[in-house]
Amino acid sequence: MSRAKHKALIIGLGNIGMGYDYALSHHDYILTHAQALHSDRNYELLGGVDISSKKKSDFTKKFNLPSFSKINSEVISLDPDIVSISVNTEFHLDVLKEVMGSLSPKLVVLEKPISVFKNEIKLILEIVQSEGIALVINYFREFEPEHKRLLKKINDNELGFPLKIIVWYSKGLLNNGSHFVQFLSNFMGKVKNFKIIENNETQHINDFEPSLKISYEKGDAFFVPAYQENSSFNEMEIVGPKGKVKYYNSGRYYQQWNLVKDPVFNDNSILEAKPSITQTKFNHYQKFVYNNIHDYLKNKNDLDISFAECVENNHLLIQIKKELSNWKKS
């Protein structure tokens, strides 16, 4: 007897929906919703929705599945359990309304950020609560096993507190920097305040790239744009009283140094010369999102990410954006 599968639909067949690993083998890369759902035996990918004729054609060609330009009677008849929404941020609310008005999913996966407007986040929250569905924001680093182990190490006090952190990010605070805002919230405590140090131009429409300091209950984090518009530069250094972590290559690796006694100055400690190096499973990051969703739906395990925490961090991003507009005028 075959096991029951979660039936899934993707709305938005752009980069994260399908594009990043379109020409790549799922044995080596699982970077998109389409690749993750199609390669996972716990899911049945039913189809994809996009207004682009080319993207629909590409989807059908690769996965041999139907594609649609909108939610129509055929899509409704598919009756998906899970809907993954990977459209541009400005369309999140409208698409979610349409999904919940036409379909009856148990869970929706939504790309980050939730919105750049507080009133839209409020409306999305009301929809989630009234419909009784789970909403997962796709901060995929939260789900990857080695990232989770790193979080445990930090929360188990391996580096000590308070922490000083430098985050280098590119391609916008909303697009890439928000991953680190979300990641730090797992161990830094509540945000006390933030300060914009410099406002920088970005080529990304509807995004921004400030240099800023965010002060948390357990330390400070400095976010610095890397001015790498044509490539992704996302790195982080975390320094505490007991050691240091360097997170690099967008999260494919991290190094950890412990403090050891200085062989020359005996009353002092220094970082050990050779750090431990951990290679993450970053090239399969989207797989782990859906692994966790399966465990949640089938076994009632907790989701690895808190929607309430995502909302709180999104509000912080909106505050920063508002402060930037005032900062320009001052």
- Which one, of 226, 234, 115, lies nearest residue 174 by Cα? 115
Cβ neighbours of residue 249 closer than 8 Å, sequence gap 6 or more? 235
At 83, which helix (H) or strand (E)?
strand 82-85
- The pLDDT tens digits for 137-149 are 999 999 999 999 9
Residue with tokens 């188990």: 156
34: closest CA among 52, 68, 57, 9? 9
Phi, psi of 90 (to 5 degrees): -65, -15
Return the structure tokens found at 100: 């919940």
In this structure, the number of other CB atoms found within 10 A of the CB of residue 66 comes to 15
* 3-state SS, residue 229: coil
- Domain positions in the chain are 6-139+286-299, 145-280+313-329
pLDDT at 66 over 90: yes
Is 80 exceeded by the pLDDT of residue 2? no
Give the CATH class of 145-280+313-329.
alpha beta
Q: Quote the mean pLDDT of the chain.
A: 94
Q: Is the pLDDT of residue 264 over 60?
A: yes
Does the fold of domain 145-280+313-329 match that of domain 6-139+286-299? no
The model carries a pTM of 0.94
The structure tokens listed for 262 are: 């200085």
Q: Which amino acid is at 45?
A: L
Q: How far is CA 14 from CA 31, 94, 287, 313, in A?
A: 12, 18, 18, 25
Other C-beta atoms closer than 10 Å to the C-beta of 135 total 21
The CATH number given to 6-139+286-299 is 3.40.50.720
